[in-house]
Structure 1
Amino acid sequence: MAPLPFRWSGEAFEPLRGFAKRANNLFVVGEVYRLEPVEDRSSASHKHEFAWLKEAWQNLPETLAEQYPTAEHLRKRALIDAGFYDETIVDAGTQAAAIRVASFVRAREEFTLVIVRGTFVVTRTAKSQSVRAMGNKDFQRSKAAIMDVVSELIGVTSTELARNAGRAA
């Protein structure tokens, strides 16, 4: 659920027009609630990420181009490599079954990293960076982390990558 917008009046937090009904449904008069400011995501920062990702993808070494057919493939794998993923582990019972399950998952899940460990199948799916799924703080952390992963992959520093993307954006 997305956070509700409130305005501080000097005495109380009041829901913005259009959100009062939802606030009444969610909150009980007299109850105590903890508030935490939520920093809105910067659309400029979001656009910057996609600009440098496109720039990096276009400059991938030929040996890596097949692994990352699109900039989206590169972004999702970088998120996984940077630790921003959801993981599922399934015990398939036998190694042969694990290999079959992994093959099935790979065929259905284009952006999922699938690993077979003995009888276990480990799937890692990149966390969503959508505004709804990831707040500003986590987005900035993930952006910096994947920039490090990608810059190492293409053999430049993250500073160079950010600077070059700034020119391209």
Structure 2
Amino acid sequence: MSRDSINIIFEWDGEAMRPLSRFHNLANAEFVVGERYRCEVQEDRSWVSHKHQFAWLHEAWLSLPEHIAARFLNEDQMHKHGLIAGGFCDSTTVPCASRAEAERWYKHLRSREPDTVISINGNVLIQFTAWSQSRRAMDAKTFQKSKQAVLDYVDDLLGVQREQAA
């Protein structure tokens, strides 16, 4: 089975990085004695911060005025739109033969993938899909930035004024 990366937790003992005992066999299977490997520090992400985001998203969803709430099927869709608005997304550009064809594709994609944001520019359809915020998909720093982007998006929906930096 091919994979892009593996997660093994190591502990620094003052001289060497040593895998925690539960990762020892995996480290032996993956690494060759005497070879060199690049080590990238990956900060652990707080579950408290993760749960906090979804708690305030739920509260914000319940607080939306009806005319704004009608734009979203549920709080998860609002969350994904916030990620997209913050740039935490992938985009797919599809040139179509005509604007009419782009509009047909728009209707088709909208019915199948309601959580994406789709726009049409002339005869070009652009689809934006939010990134996952799972612990596997996002490191701690990216998660915090994406969480702030979603908070800012929801604040804008609610008309909440953020404090300006002096």
With the length of structure 2 as denominator, give the TM-score of the two structures.
0.88
Counterpart in the other structure of 2:7: 3
CA deviation profile, 1:91-131 (whole Å, cap 9, x unmatched) = 12222211111111111102011111122110001110011
Counterpart in the other structure of 1:102: 106
Q: How many residues align?
A: 159
Q: Which segments of 5 or more consecutive residues in structure 2 lack a partner in the other structure?
A: none
Percent of pairs with identical residues: 45
Q: Which has the higher contact order (CA 8 A, sep 6+)?
A: 1
- Structure 1 counterpart of 2:144, from 140, 144, 157: 140
Indicate yes or no: 2:164 matched with 1:151.
no
Instruction: Show structure 1 runs of 4+ deviating over 4 A.
Output: none
Q: Which segments of 5 or more consecutive residues in structure 1 lack a partner in the other structure?
A: 160-169
Write out aligned runs for 1:29-108 (5 A). Answer: 29-108=33-112
CA deviation profile, 1:48-107 (whole Å, cap 9, x unmatched) = 101111111111122111112311111011111111111011112222211111111111
Counterpart in the other structure of 2:127: 123
Query: Structure 1's 2 and 56: CA in aligned 2 closer, same or farther, altered over 3 A?
Result: farther
Q: CA RMSD in A?
A: 1.6
For 2:138 and 2:107, how far apart are their aligned partners in 1? 30
Amino acid aligned to 2:56: W
For 1:3 and 1:36, how far apart are their aligned partners in 2? 11
